[in-house]
């Protein structure tokens, strides 16, 4: 029997594929090794099934992909930050947003622990930039209805540093399919811990944790491309006095005018400048 499905987990050369309300343990056909293609969590696949086991015969084209962790076909990256304890880093939020944009994945922001502190200041910054922002408390189960509605029918990767309540939020979303603090299964080898990434089904969609995503520097783009990944700056082409304007030291700059007019948040502009200066030091050959 041939079925269409989604790879939800991969461990030790076996891939677990959700298809027709069942999960099948599958091996990948040898042809993928010859073609140097590795099945990835989130891949849409065709499988041949015999009982509860099967083999992956075809991998559909990917709409998006992450490298760290390796996941395919993500619709949204939900960047989770805490309203307090710990206080959020706007620079880190901006890096994570740019990384998502570079990967071709639509990002959104979830501010957790809003029972401790209201963060309308952060909401204003990122709504002005064009992002969806959700304010919730996983601890008190407050404000989650809008978030749950947003997740329906999507594959959403949750990203955020430890301490922001991401694990508690994911446990709430998945009805405790993930235990708090154990979102990803841990395989201990001596002093080292390896995590595998797994999709969990929710209301017509999937959610997953992405350990490590939030700690990345912005990479894979040139400095002069950075403005394209700030939605509130992406309309600058041809509107500055100088062609190739970096929007930092040049006069008659459209972006600096937007900043002065309050159309761009100062924190966003400072993040842009810091990322731009860092990207300027990257050699072009490293991007190839």
**Residue 169 belongs to domain with CATH number:** 3.40.50.300
Q: Does residue 139 sit in the same domain as residue 176?
A: yes
pLDDT at 275 over 80: yes
Q: Give SS3 for 22.
A: strand
Q: Does residue 27 sit in the same domain as residue 79?
A: no
31-73 per-position pLDDT tens digit: 787 778 889 999 999 999 988 899 999 999 999 988 878 899 9
* Dist CA 178 CA 169 (whole Å): 10
Tell me, what CATH number does 37's domain have? 2.40.50.140
The whole domain housing 149 covers 65-215
Q: Give SS3 for 187.
A: strand
Q: Does residue 160 sit in the same domain as residue 201?
A: yes
pLDDT at 283 over 80: no
* Helix boundaries (H) for the chain: 30-34, 90-102, 120-128, 144-151, 166-173, 254-260, 266-280
Q: Does residue 209 sit in the same domain as residue 231?
A: no
Q: Does residue 17 sit in the same domain as residue 99?
A: no
195-249 per-position pLDDT tens digit: 578 999 998 899 999 876 655 677 789 999 999 999 999 999 999 999 989 999 9
Tell me, what CATH number does 238's domain have? 1.10.40.50
Nearest to 32 by CA among 42, 40, 23, 24: 40
What's the total number of domains in the chain? 3
pLDDT at 187 over 50: no
**Count of beta carbons in the 10 Å neighbourhood of residue 107:** 21
Question: pLDDT-based confidence at 100, cuts 50/70/90?
Answer: very high
Instruction: Note the pLDDT of residue 282.
Output: 79
* Dist CA 166 CA 147 (whole Å): 13
Nearest to 226 by CA among 247, 241, 205: 247
């Amino acid at each position: 029997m041939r079925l269409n499905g989604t790879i939800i987990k991969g461990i030790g050369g076996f891939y677990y594929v959700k298809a027709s309300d069942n999960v099948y343990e599958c091996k990948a056909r040898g042809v993928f090794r010859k073609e140097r293609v590795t099945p990835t969590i989130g891949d849409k696949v065709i499988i041949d099934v015999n009982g509860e086991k099967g083999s992956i015969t075809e991998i559909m084209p990917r709409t998006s992909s992450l490298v760290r962790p390796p996941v395919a076909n993500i619709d949204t990256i939900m960047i989770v930050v805490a309203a307090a304890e710990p206080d959020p880093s706007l620079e880190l939020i901006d890096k994570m947003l740019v990384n998502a944009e570079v990967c071709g994945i639509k990002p959104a922001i979830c501010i957790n622990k809003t029972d401790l502190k209201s963060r309308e200041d952060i909401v204003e910054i990122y709504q002005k930039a064009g992002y969806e922002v959700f304010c919730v408390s996983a601890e008190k189960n407050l404000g989650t209805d809008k978030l749950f509605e947003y997740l329906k029918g999507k594959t959403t990767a949750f990203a955020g540093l430890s301490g922001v309540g991401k694990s508690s939020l994911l446990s709430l979303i998945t009805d405790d399919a993930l235990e708090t603090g154990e979102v990803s299964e841990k395989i201990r080898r001596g002093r080292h811990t390896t995590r595998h990434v797994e999709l969990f089904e929710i209301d017509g969609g999937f959610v997953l944790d992405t350990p490590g995503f939030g700690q990345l520097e912005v990479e894979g783009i040139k400095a002069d491309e950075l403005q394209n990944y700030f939605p509130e700056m992406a309309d600058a082409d041809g509107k500055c006095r100088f062609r190739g304007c970096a929007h930092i030291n040049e006069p008659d700059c459209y972006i600096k005018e937007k900043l002065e007019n309050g159309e761009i948040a100062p924190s966003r502009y400072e993040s842009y400048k810091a990322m731009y200066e860092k990207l300027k030091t990257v050699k072009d050959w490293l991007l190839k």
